Structure 1
């Protein structure tokens, strides 16, 4: 199939490579063309604007930063379904698959607007991070019409180990918020444990070894303790992304009446991190928020 892809960042680039290896033709757009250009060596075809994808791609995938970015890429000037996109209703595009993490209410609104053009919308946020994208083992939680999800599932399978339809449009985004509530709270807890170990003179780097097989053992523990105690690790995301997601979780809690005091505490920790200038720091910078001196103690000042 011919596929469009908007947003070849840390997550999107390896996903595109998997699609290419699966034999698909992939047309790629990025706001900064130079950042997409290296994918041409893998066989991707680079375009100048999202609207350029409409005439070629049957399905267009989004992996962009936030709710506003999704709206701009789809409905803005030069967007997939923008008013200036001549082929918006007559192109080959049949589905928009959004891998971004955005507000469920906005997702439902965008899906309704896309439906006026005869376009099916599948919200399909992912879990597994950059390592999962590179390995092709992402977990995808999907929302949308059952027939639309079924139609795009073989494509998503190029880089995902599992696709789970959670309900109608918006259900995928709500499930991702559940995921982020767990992940953010857990990483914050790991940072506090590392800080406690260092303050007590214990080798925090050995926590995964000591806790292996116990209830505290997890992929997150094994991933983040090395990042919090050593320098030199490639970034896998920013605290700004965590803050954006946890703010959306808090808004969903208010809208639904869910009681989430732990999310509220993590939200304040992330706001403190932003005030400390750590918004663009790696996700492991939680340690610098809860115990700022840890950077000098354990990681040589990452």
Structure 2
């Protein structure tokens, strides 16, 4: 299949690599050309613009920080739709608002281009292993076509409803992940401050009902003070704001998500927005009057939302 892939960040680069390895002809584009060159060495074709990608592909996948970037790549002066043929398919694996996904789908439908919003979960580890969970919104035929492509990057592909539904499920995913990280951070802080054998405690917690992927993957990073970004605080803040807006629109209360969003904002205000979201423990330590220890991250400063290649959780 002739595929296009735009957005070669922490998640996008390994995803595109899996598509190349699966035997597809893949044209890739990214603002940082080094990522393009790395995939060219594995058999991909480097695109010179989004329009070039649209010209060469029947299916275009985008993996970008937020809806403004998706809009620009698709509908800008050199956007994908300037060259993409009617009957083609766009799959957006970014995390954007449900309303933005619906609007994008409508604009593409006016050009007889199918659309599936297909945000992913599993982090950089899942992207590298090809074991992502993909939540797909769209009509049955478009989702079937998308599934044929995304099977190369996913362990779980689920059709969750019409266009926009994928983003609603992803918002719920980000609420759960952030809440779990916050509780793991609180538990780790308690264990560290009370003289318990922390590693032994985490081992037994991981064997009971408290076990979770977040506990397994993020607690060791907290203990090692290793906050090199797999998924940046800034991007999780953006996702939580999407979740809060969706809850507002649905007229439901999400008080825990509100509190956690404020904790994440505190991290950003302290200059930690560029760190991995496991750095949430630093916000809790500050609240507890603890000295915040150093970090092994090479990106200690906050970044503007949308200012970095996409890193989805």
Q: Shared fold by TM > 0.5? A: yes
184, 190, 194: which one aligns with 1:196: 190
Separation in structure 2 between the aligned mates of residue 233 and residue 286 of structure 1, nearest angstrom: 10
1:165 alignment counterpart = 159
Q: Give the TM-score of the pair, scaled to structure 2.
A: 0.90
Q: Aligned ranges for residues 33-112 of structure 1 at < 5 Å?
A: 33-81=33-81, 85=82, 87-88=83-84, 91=85, 94-112=88-106
Computed over aligned residues only, the root mean square deviation of the Cα atoms, in angstroms, reads: 1.6
Separation in structure 2 between the aligned mates of residue 48 and residue 190 of structure 1, nearest angstrom: 44
| Aligned partners of 1:60 and 1:93 also within 8 Å | no
207, 210, 221: which one aligns with 1:227: 221
**Residues 227 and 34 of structure 1: is their aligned pair in 2 closer, same or farther, counting only changes over 3 Å?**
same
Structure 2: where are the runs of 5+ without partners?
298-313
1:6-57 residue CA offsets vs partner (Å, 9 max, x unmatched): 0011101111111111100110001222332211111111112101012210
Separation in structure 1 between the aligned mates of residue 9 and residue 187 of structure 2, nearest angstrom: 31
Matched, 1:120 2:122: no
1:172-229 residue CA offsets vs partner (Å, 9 max, x unmatched): 0000011111001110111111111112122433333021221111111011110000
1:88-116 residue CA offsets vs partner (Å, 9 max, x unmatched): 4xx37600000000000010001000111
Separation in structure 1 between the aligned mates of residue 202 and residue 73 of structure 2, nearest angstrom: 42
1:20 alignment counterpart = 20
Q: Which range is displaced more, 230-239 or 35-44?
A: 230-239
**Residues 300 and 12 of structure 1: is their aligned pair in 2 closer, same or farther, counting only changes over 3 Å?**
closer
Q: Give the TM-score of the pair, scaled to structure 1.
A: 0.93
**Residues 235 and 203 of structure 1: is their aligned pair in 2 closer, same or farther, counting only changes over 3 Å?**
farther
Q: Taking CA–CA contacts closer than 8 Å with sequence separation of 6 or more, which of the two structures ends up with the larger relative contact order? A: 2
Q: Aligned ranges for residues 257-296 of structure 1 at < 5 Å?
A: 257-292=251-286, 293=290, 295-296=292-293
228, 247, 255: which one aligns with 2:249: 255
Count of paired positions: 294
